[in-house]
Amino acid sequence: MGQNGSRVNGSRALTAEALLMFTSSTRSVPAAPLVPRHIAIIMDGNGRWAKQRFLPRVAGHKRGVETVRNLVRASIERGVEYLTLFAFSSENWRRPAEEVSLLKGMFLNALEQEIERLHKNRIRLKVVGDLSGFGSHIGELVAAGEALTADNTRLTLTIAASYGGRWDIVRAARTYFQAHPEALDTQAPVSPEAIEPYLSMAHAPEPDLFIRTGGEKRVSNFLLWQMAYTEFYFTDTLWPDFDTQALDAAIASYQQRERRFGRTSEQVQAVRSDQSGSTPQRGSS
């Protein structure tokens, strides 16, 4: 993930193995589970939540951490296997220095306080992004937390911190060519399959459902490669107010989508009927 060479090397070994486990939606048709296997979320609206209550922005961020705890619990209860949260984008460094410092401090506190709790609840922690700007101590905590929770299987919780989708793709391509310098000397095109093992999110399947809270309707440089066929759900609910009912509403919307992955509706219906022998559970989009 870029903060030190050993962690990048370890990530390569893991992601090369993970690539064999997950299906790319642009190469073949993945399963479309009734409950999304992987949910990715942009947690937007902490500052506005605080402003509406005449509170400092830090109050919104602290309430947002509580929402994360509740959402992790709710995701497990509903059978979600992978939860990816956009905590801090590569563009968020442009925010006022005071707020950046606050967010860095909260990230540090969360790592110090939550890793043991995650481990006790059999949750695997992954952190993706360029962590160099956070300092060596946070990098060490992340490495230790990932190692401690590596064998947990109840839920994989991925935190995207100082992450950007374009950064991820460029880093993956650069790392690929470093590992395969002979590719620079040939005229053969580089395939997506060659790049994918070096992406930050290769430890997880592509997201089934993307949620953005806070009313904005954009992806903000989040998981650009991975969300080629992800279903999008936007809500005006501010992140601190995003509760289990809001999560259920997002999942219910997802369950009404017909995930065609480039096929016709008739093809989807025929395959689903062959697989289940029953009336399809999702409606057409």
Instruction: Give the residue numbers annotated as catalytic, written as ranges.
Output: 44, 92
Pairing relation of β-strands 209-212 and 82-89? unpaired
Is there a contact between 127 and 146 (Cβ–Cβ < 8 Å)? Answer: yes
Is there a contact between 207 and 227 (Cβ–Cβ < 8 Å)? Answer: yes
CB-side neighbour CA atoms (13 Å) of 177: 10
171, two tokens = 């880093």
Spatial separation of the C-alpha atoms in residues 68 and 111, rounded to whole Å: 13
First CA to last CA across the chain, in angstroms?
37
Compute the Cα dihedral for 138, 104, 216, 220 and give only its sign. negative
What are 128's strand-pairing partners? 160
65, two tokens = 């951490």
Is there a contact between 239 and 46 (Cβ–Cβ < 8 Å)? Answer: yes
